[in-house]
Structure 1
Amino acid sequence: MKKHIYILASLLMVSGIALAQKGNLKRVNKLFEMRAYTEAAETYETKERTQEVLQNLADSYYFNVSLQKAIKTYRELFVTYGDSIDIEYHFRFAQALKGVKNYKEADKHLSMYYNRKVNTDAFMEHLEKTTPHTFTLEQLQNEGSNSDFGLTFYGDDKVAFASARNTDNPSYSWNELPYLDLYNATMTNEGMLKNIQPFSDAINTDSHESNAVFSKDGKTMYFNRTNSTRKKTDEQRIAHIKIYKAELIDSVWTNVTALPFTSNAYSTEHPALSKDEKTLYFASDMSGTLGSFDIYKVAINEDGTYGEPENLGATINTKHREQFPYISDYDVLYFSSIGHEGYGGLDVFRSNMVNGQFDKPVNLGSSINSNLDDFAYTVREKNNVGYVSSNRTGYDRIFGFAREDNMLTKYQVEGIVQDKNSQELLTGALVTLFNESGNVIQDTLVGDDAYYIFKIEPNKKYKVRGTRKAYIPQDVEFSTDSKGKVQHNIYLSLESFADAEERVKENEKGDVQVQLDKIYFDFDKSNIRKDAATTLNVLVDLMKKYPSMEVEVSAHTDARGPDQYNLDLSKRRAASTLEYLVSQGIDRNRLKSIGYGEMQPLNDCVKEDICEDEEYDINRRCEFTILN
């Protein structure tokens, strides 16, 4: 729905085109292809209202946010030409209707478009109760411009933004405003922009510049710039956008170069830096997108080169526009989309990074998203303050915001960890929260009260797991979707191996061990005999029954013979025992072997020739201690 090029990503340089009111249709179609929508609409209104004319006229009004005129024309188009209309016009008509909050009629067209029932009112009602935060917005008071957007942090007290305030710039035919330049300013405590200064001519040119982002030291800038030449694509001449890099040397911006993965054949735009500055996120319509613009990432190598751009995939991207990525210090991806379900136009969404992957996006809700376009979101997570841009007032404006937890409901899971049989609180137990894919989101070791709590999000499936040494883990799955609850109180009751299995006992030192029949080795040997294998198979069965069980295999000798000889022999016997368990299908990572030699006797037979044979025999043993 945006009238300015950074949304549709094809900034044009069209000037001096004049057509008579009743000029040739081919010539007005050329205006439409070059996206001079205001002039094109004026001329289409004089033409015979064929299907082609109505489609282009409606789209011209739609792209220039003349929504009432767009709705009137789309409605005429559908009444007159009905089933012959391409399905994409249902989507644009629906977005125009959403733009004036006519959700009921919009849903009819979206239901046809998606071939499923769409109920925007129900979606909005549910989102009010489930969105993680609420926002308080205040428009920045900034005189001198009809279009400002894309404010980003620039050092400790400065900001940068794009503006059409330079009236000396050529007029852009899409919206008849001056071309965009980049500016920096100081933000006052009252939310005023002061000391507004344009960046140097090395940054600002006769083309559009916008969407600047800076390294933490302020010495590197990435920004958008529109090509000065157009690329003929699908019979249209489009000036694409490139991401540029600039360096601050001796207080002067220099070395302004286009990034190597940019092109004259497609657009790359809206750069965003990760906290470690090793990854650059951006939007592009390059080959391989799911449709229109997608969010990508690219590695920034230590030597200053770049990796291959990677599409973030179908979890984030749709067949429609995803743009304006921003990655916060908490590795949360914020972006704007018209393809995910929303209020109309571009909405702002968030997606958490979990084990290197972004999860399902969540709409930020009606306290920040409007029925028109909302985009260019930035936030300081620790302070819960930031900025967002919107054209809800008719022009692009920058809004500051403060956010707080949604008090209508707080999504959380909490509970305690206790012994299943004794009900004793299990201090020191580990509680882990997993997402639907089995990836770890959070974990915590419970304190003396055995209490845990995790903040969670709406429309997700989770699993919480309790574990403790020598206990059987417990998993509990739950959901926060429309069929699930908001708050979950889950008591984790863990059963100890000693309670569950007769062969598992706790010794006098507090070690929990698997009690097996004695394992015998031939004299001075460490290979597993058949009778020993039969005994060890009992442990194999037990470990297969409890996949989380980890065991230390320890071997001990008596005190007869040299100390070093006994130590080495015990190590060989422990290792041989471990290898047998592995050969029977037990994962090596669940096992540990150690030989103690004669260092841990069970009686006072610590020297040769002071005990009877049967007393020495007590100390010759293998033990199987449960580690986890």
Structure 2
Amino acid sequence: MRILKIFIFLLCIYQVAHSQNAKLKKANKLFANHSYVQAAELYEELKITEDSLLINLGDAYYYNSIMDKAVANYSKVISSQPLNSNDIYFKYAHALYATNALGNADSIMSILTKKKIHTPSFISKVNLANPFINELKKISVGSTSGDFGITYFGEKLAFSSLRNTNNQNYSWNDKPYLDLYSATFSDTGALENVIPFNEDVNSKTHESNAIITNDGKTLYFSRTSLKRVKIGNNKIATVRLFKAESIDDEWTNIQELPFSSELYSVQHPSLNKDNTKLYFSSDISGGKGSFDIYYVDINDHEYGKPVNLGESINTPHLEQFPFISNKGSLYFASNGLQGLGGLDIFMCEYHDEKWSTPLNLGNTINSNLDDFAYIVDSEKNTGFLSSNREGEDHLYYLKRVKNNRKIIVEGSVRDKNSKELLPETMVTLLGENNKVIDSFKVGKDGKYLFKVSPFGLFKIEGHRPFYIPNSISFETDDSGRIELNIELEIESYDDAEEIVVEKEDGYIYIELENIYFDLDKWDIKPDGGRTLDVLVNLMKKYPRMEVQLSAHTDNRSSFDYNMILSDNRAKSAMGYLLSKGIEKKRLSSIGYGESQLLVDCGKNCSEEEHSINRRCEFIIIK
């Protein structure tokens, strides 16, 4: 009897273990097939503790924007051991942004990007730099959760929606497959006349991002393949671009575009103003990373080869949902450029045959979750976007007003040669015609910061005592940069000029040949004039230099007599400089008589010692 009980107990243990293994195998298969909702449910049932499975569970929540649970599972793994995967840290950081854990998220992103990330200051800067402030309103009438990807569609709008509950559920999020709908937008902010596209367009799989050509005859849209193809270790149903023709007010003759493929995705079509270029997002091999923005030229229904927009726009992560405004600006969504968390909307301009630095549109548009599919009428300053900031995808209507935009100019002041910071340096911002805009002394950190307007010519000048003022000119444009980093270096007089020397007494001297005067005279002789001409040239070279001229005598004659004589000689030298055009406010003179003898030889001085004591000195006082 005892043996029978043991056997039954072991059998139960085996059945439980077998059941657990079967569930785990099923969960892993569901995850591999991107059935994230069902995979997460099974992982939770199994109470998994293995790091690789916790990462899977974190991913399952991450890809469905359930970020608090993504954080919980990623953190269990990361807290137990350092990981070699930057991808996991990247997703963890974005999940932290979504849960408002900015400090931790910024710390991780600072390591990943190898630059200091501080989101609050970044938001302040991009809000200053943006040309518009946006007012957003969620479209609640005529729209439901799960609507997204709204586009202009002739006089109407088109958008994607999972509202058709008759559709089969998509295993990724366990919600119906997407269909395309058209609608009008009322003055009251509602979607009206919502009509699904015909069945030639809306199939058994996903359709999204419908756009129409100017003549109304051609429709472009994204469609997900029904067939999964093995790419690497996974089976994937790629997204492809299709076009349709308008025949008798019906969309028909559906054709796949020639640059689509079952081996990579091509999605989110957008046309430029004259319909000569088709922009899209793709993970085609050879790009910068996950999904990049591309375009193809269109010439009489013929399509060129895909052209990547380059690394100024594309990153190793997601760049999606391109839109070209009627003024030629490119708007797109990215989670690879610095942002507020998740996908953010960026703008850039095309100048001199290249795209400008993308500008994050700031927190009047972007949130800490996904914001995407931005479109705008640049003439009316109204538009739409999609966002899951409230947990699910919704459509938003926007109005934008002009912003008194500013660009941050910052940097530090350093010694040109030693590279040491120079606290207390006066830094001045000048505009056109050298008009002073702002000025202040830098603190102990040597840093300065100015706010300037775009489309201007400016100059930053650094000035401090005993240094040569230096300035850097710069121009602001609409390149998308939110800040300019300008390091200002200034050089001391004694580093720049061999005849300028700092001596042990702490004063900075201009070392010139001695000036000789006739006995009891103070007029400047020709030799003395040539010496002073060197000083004249130096002071003209440095217009802010101020100099004190001092004259000294030997100890012959009385003390009072020597004081008067030296004072006259100093004033005479100063008069010579004034006659050569040096401003009086830059000069001062003083006679020291015999009070500062270099050789204190008493009454037994030699002529050589007397000549050493008779001298003129030139001290830089500013």
Aligned to 1:164: 162
TM-score by length of 1: 0.63
Q: C-alpha distance in 1, partners of 2:94/2:321?
A: 19
Which shows bigger deviation, 409-418 or 397-406? 409-418
Measured in 2, the distance between the counterparts of 1:83 and 1:301 equals: 52
Amino acid aligned to 2:398? F
Aligned mates of 1:288, 1:214 — CA distance in 2? 29
Q: Is the 8 A contact 1:411 1:456 kept in 2?
A: no
1:329 shift after superposition: 1.3
1:324 and 2:351 correspond: no
Correspondence 1:183-582 to 2 at 5 A: 183-302=181-300, 304-407=301-404, 409=406, 456=454, 477-479=474-476, 482-483=483-484
Distance 2:346 2:294 in 1: 16
Structure 1 contact 351–360 (Cα < 8 Å) conserved: yes
Per-residue CA distance 1:430-469 (angstroms, 9 max, x = gap): xxxxxxxxxxxxxxxxxxxxxxxx9837xx9999xxxxxx
Q: TM-score, normalised by structure 2?
A: 0.63
Separation in 1, partners of 2:176, 2:48: 33
Q: How does 1:74-113 map to 2 (within 5 A)?
A: 74-80=74-80, 82-113=81-112
Deviation at 1:197, TM superposition (A): 0.6
- Secondary structure at 1:300's aligned position in 2? strand
**Distance in structure 2 (CA, Å) of the matches to 1:376 and 1:164:** 16
Deviations 1:268-288 (A, max 9, x none): 000000111110000000111
The 1:51/1:411 distance shift into structure 2, 3 A limit, reads: closer
* SS of equivalent to 2:219: strand
In the alignment, which residue of structure 2 is the partner of 1:4? none
Alpha-carbon contact 1:90-1:112 (below 8 Å) kept? no
d(CA) in 1 for partners of 2:397, 2:304: 35
Corresponding letter in the other structure for 1:107: D
Shift of 1:410: 8.3
Residues 378-420 of structure 1: CA deviation (Å, up to 9, x unaligned): 11101111101101111111111011122464899998799xx
Change (3 A) 1:86 1:461: farther
Quick check: 2:150–2:158 contact (8 Å CA) kept in 1? yes
Query: What residue in structure 2 maps to residue 71 of structure 1?
Result: 71
Q: Deviation of residue 213 (structure 1)?
A: 0.8
Mapped contact 1:132–1:410 kept (Cα < 8 A)? no
Counterpart residue identity of residue 100, structure 1: T
Q: Could you say what secondary structure the match of 1:348 adopts?
A: strand
Match of 2:572 in 1: none
Shift of 1:142: 3.3
Q: CA deviation at 1:308?
A: 0.5
Q: Give the drift of 1:266.
A: 0.5
Any conservation in 2 of the 1:338–1:344 contact (CA below 8 Å)? Answer: yes
| 3-state SS in 2 of match to 1:394 | coil
Q: Could you say which residue in structure 1 is the equivalent of 2:128?
A: 129
5+ unaligned residues in a row in structure 2: which ranges?
1-17, 410-428, 435-451, 460-471, 487-622
2:484 & 2:303 partners in 1: Cα distance? 45
- Give 1:152's aligned amino acid: T
The code of the aligned residue for 1:72 comes to A
Name the larger-Rg structure: 2
> 2-side partners of 1:414 and 1:328: how far apart?
35
* 1:377 to partner: Cα distance: 0.6
Contact 1:294 / 1:322 at 8 angstroms: preserved in 2?
A: yes
In 2, Cα distance between equivalents of 1:219 and 1:461: 47
User: What number of residue pairs does the alignment pair up?
Assistant: 416
Q: Which residue of 2 aligns with 1:55?
A: 55
Is 1:22–1:43's contact at 8 Å kept on the other side of the alignment?
Answer: no
1:59 and 1:76 map into 2 onto residues whose CA distance is 13
Equivalent position SS for 1:174: coil
Query: Shift in Å at residue 143 of structure 1?
Result: 4.6
User: How far apart in 1 are the matches of 2:226 and 2:315?
Assistant: 30
TM-fit CA distance, 1:25: 3.0
Instruction: Provide Cα deviations, 1:3-26, integer angstroms capped at 9, x if missing partner.
Output: xxxxxxxxxxxxxxxx97763433
Taking a change above 3 Å as real, the CA distance of residues 53 and 306 of structure 1, as seen in their structure-2 partners, is same
Q: How far apart are the structure 2 equivalents of 1:408 and 1:476?
A: 20
> Equivalent of 2:177, from 160, 176, 179?
179
Give me the whole-angstrom Cα distance separating, in 2, the residues matched to 1:266 and 1:170: 24
Aligned-residue identity in percent: 42
How much does 1:116 deviate? Answer: 3.2
Which whole-Å deviations, capped at 9, do the CAs of 1:214-263 have from their partners, x for residues lacking one? 11122211000011101111121110000100110121111110100000
Distance (whole Å) between structure 2 residues aligned to residue 269 and residue 461 of structure 1: 42
Residues 458-493 of structure 1 show CA distances to partners (whole Å, capped at 9, x for unaligned) of: xx9999xxxxxxxxxxx96335754579xxxxxxxx
Deviation string 1:284-314 (CA, Å, 9 cap, x unpaired) is 0011111100000100012x11111011110
The root-mean-square deviation of aligned C-alpha atoms, in Å, is 2.7
Q: Is the 8 A contact 1:88 1:113 kept in 2?
A: no
SS at match of 2:37: helix
Bigger shift: residues 116-125 or 20-29? 20-29
Deviation at 1:185, TM superposition (A): 1.0
Is 2:125–2:482's contact at 8 Å kept on the other side of the alignment?
Answer: no
In 1, are the aligned partners of 2:383 and 2:398 still within 8 Å (CA)?
Answer: yes
C-alpha distance in 1 between matches for 2:199 and 2:430: 57
Does the 8 A contact of 2:165 with 2:176 survive in 1? yes
